[in-house]
């Protein structure tokens, strides 16, 4: 073999090795929960222990069962928990807000009201196989003010699956399956918040250094209450490219797809640290959960550094629902 061929082969092996390392996926348990690793970096944590609240804050705001941090491939933290304006915001999570159980209103979202809450129960399974890491957990939606005593209202099985995407990005499948055993079922009342998948972004992002774009061409000023197949949230970071973000995809089998959005308006909280978005299937119509029946919602996130175009977002969505 000629020196030129040997050199070419060596370069190929080096590039292949670097590429393989960059795509390496790991799953590790830690003191706080379960950590997902991508390319040697911890990029996502599902928290199984209750997060302590700051001094002077009501203990009811402490909770488990959420994703934080979620970081870009270069390690930029994109999520936030317990912001002073909303102590009940927890990175990526999705409690239901206004629910009716036996004629009573139960709120699983606003923890400070102490009517309901959602917490981690136990790990169902976890594995790394086929170049992907998968975690399945049980989350309990608790009715705290039930007439007899606190009771389980909704069982939720949450699947979080991480695998590489193209261009150094990674993807996370977030699939939630809910059911109830309460006689008469539960009505998830139509409201602008609740269920689906919510995202409270890093406190670094605000009106002047972040953008939002939906599949229907809406930006932050017009996206709230509109339906969408996907939404891109991106903003300034310390990544080499100077920007990072997440593309959120809603599956076409989801309730009320294309799904209505809750997007905080421009100017909220003086335009600082005010990025919040949510796919909210009950935004415009209620959803009745029948006893013993299972209901699923499927989402996918593409996490990236640099830019991600509308054309790429559409291609990712088509691949998701094919």
- pLDDT tens for residues 90-127? 999 999 999 999 999 999 999 999 999 999 999 999 99
Distance CA 67, CA 34 (A): 10
Q: For residue 101, which phi and psi values (nearest 5 degrees)?
A: -125, 115
Q: Is 61 helix (H, G, I), strand (E, B) or coil?
A: helix
Residue 7 has what pLDDT? Answer: 41
What are the structure tokens assigned to 192, written together?
A: 């602008």
27 half-sphere exposure, CB direction, 13 A CA radius = 17
What are the structure tokens assigned to 274, written together?
A: 């005010």
Q: Is 90 within 8 Å of 139 (Cβ atoms)? A: no
Residue 35 pLDDT exceeds 80: yes
| Band (22; pLDDT cuts 50, 70, 90) | very low
Distance CA 315, CA 283 (A): 26
How would you class 11 by CB atoms within 10 Å of its CB: exposed for 0-12, middle for 13-18, buried for 19 or more? exposed
Sign of the C-alpha dihedral computed for residues 218, 223, 229 and 231 taken in this order: positive
Q: Which residue do the tokens 């003191």 mark?
A: 31
Work out how many domains the chain is built from and give that number: 1
Cis amide leading into 258 (omega within 30): yes
Provide the residue range defining the domain that includes 213.
3-321
Residue 107 has what pLDDT? Answer: 98
The rounded percent of the chain whose pLDDT value lies above 70 is 93
Residue 9 pLDDT exceeds 80: no
Residue 167 has what pLDDT? Answer: 97
Q: Is 305 helix (H, G, I), strand (E, B) or coil?
A: strand
CATH number at residue 264: 2.70.98
Query: Phi-psi bin for 42: left (phi > 0), alpha (psi -120 to 50), beta?
Result: beta
Length of the chain: 322
What are the structure tokens assigned to 238, written together?
A: 């310390």
The rounded percent of the chain whose pLDDT value lies above 90 is 93
How would you class 21 by CB atoms within 10 Å of its CB: exposed for 0-12, middle for 13-18, buried for 19 or more? exposed
Q: Is 16 within 8 Å of 31 (Cβ atoms)? A: no
Residue 23 has what pLDDT? Answer: 67
Q: For residue 77, which phi and psi values (nearest 5 degrees)?
A: -70, 125
Distance CA 185, CA 171 (A): 34
What are the structure tokens assigned to 290, written together?
A: 């029948």
Q: How would you classify the pairing of strands 227-228 and 116-129?
A: unpaired
Residue 12 has what pLDDT? Answer: 35
Helices (H), the chain: 3-22, 220-223, 310-321
Mean pLDDT of the chain: 94
Residue 18 has what pLDDT? Answer: 38
Which of these ranges, 9-23, 150-164, 165-179, 231-245, has the smallest mean pLDDT? 9-23
What are the structure tokens assigned to 268, written together?
A: 């909220």
Distance CA 52, CA 45 (A): 16
Residue 185 pLDDT exceeds 70: yes
């Amino acid at each position: 073999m000629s020196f030129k061929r040997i050199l070419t082969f060596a370069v190929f092996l080096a590039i292949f090795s670097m590429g393989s390392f960059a795509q390496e996926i790991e799953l590790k348990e830690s003191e706080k929960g379960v950590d997902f690793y991508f390319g040697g970096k911890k990029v996502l944590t599902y928290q199984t222990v209750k997060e302590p609240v700051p001094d002077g804050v009501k203990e009811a705001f402490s909770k488990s069962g959420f994703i934080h941090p979620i970081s870009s491939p270069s390690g930029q933290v994109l999520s936030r928990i317990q912001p002073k304006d909303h102590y009940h915001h927890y990175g990526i999570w999705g409690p239901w807000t206004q629910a009716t159980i036996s004629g009573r209103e139960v709120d699983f979202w606003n923890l400070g009201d102490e009517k309901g809450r959602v917490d981690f129960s136990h790990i169902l399974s976890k594995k790394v196989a086929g170049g992907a890491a998968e975690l399945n957990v049980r989350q309990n939606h608790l009715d705290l003010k039930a007439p007899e005593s606190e009771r389980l209202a909704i069982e939720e099985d949450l699947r979080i699956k991480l695998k590489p995407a193209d261009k150094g990005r990674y993807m996370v499948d977030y699939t939630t399956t809910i059911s109830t055993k309460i006689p008469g079922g539960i009505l998830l009342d139509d409201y602008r918040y609740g269920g689906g998948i919510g995202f409270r972004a890093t406190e670094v992002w605000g009106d002047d250094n972040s953008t939002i774009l939906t599949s229907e061409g809406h930006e932050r000023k017009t996206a709230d209450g509109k339906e969408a197949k996907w939404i891109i949230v991106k903003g300034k970071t310390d990544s080499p490219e100077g920007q990072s973000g997440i593309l959120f995809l809603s599956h076409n089998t989801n309730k009320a797809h294309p799904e209505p959005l809750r997007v905080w308006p421009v100017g909220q909280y003086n335009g600082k640290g005010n990025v919040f978005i949510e796919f909210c299937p009950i935004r415009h119509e209620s959803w009745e959960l029948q006893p013993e029946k299972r209901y699923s919602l499927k989402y996918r996130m593409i996490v990236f550094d640099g830019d991600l175009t509308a054309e790429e977002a559409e291609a990712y969505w088509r691949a998701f629902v094919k």
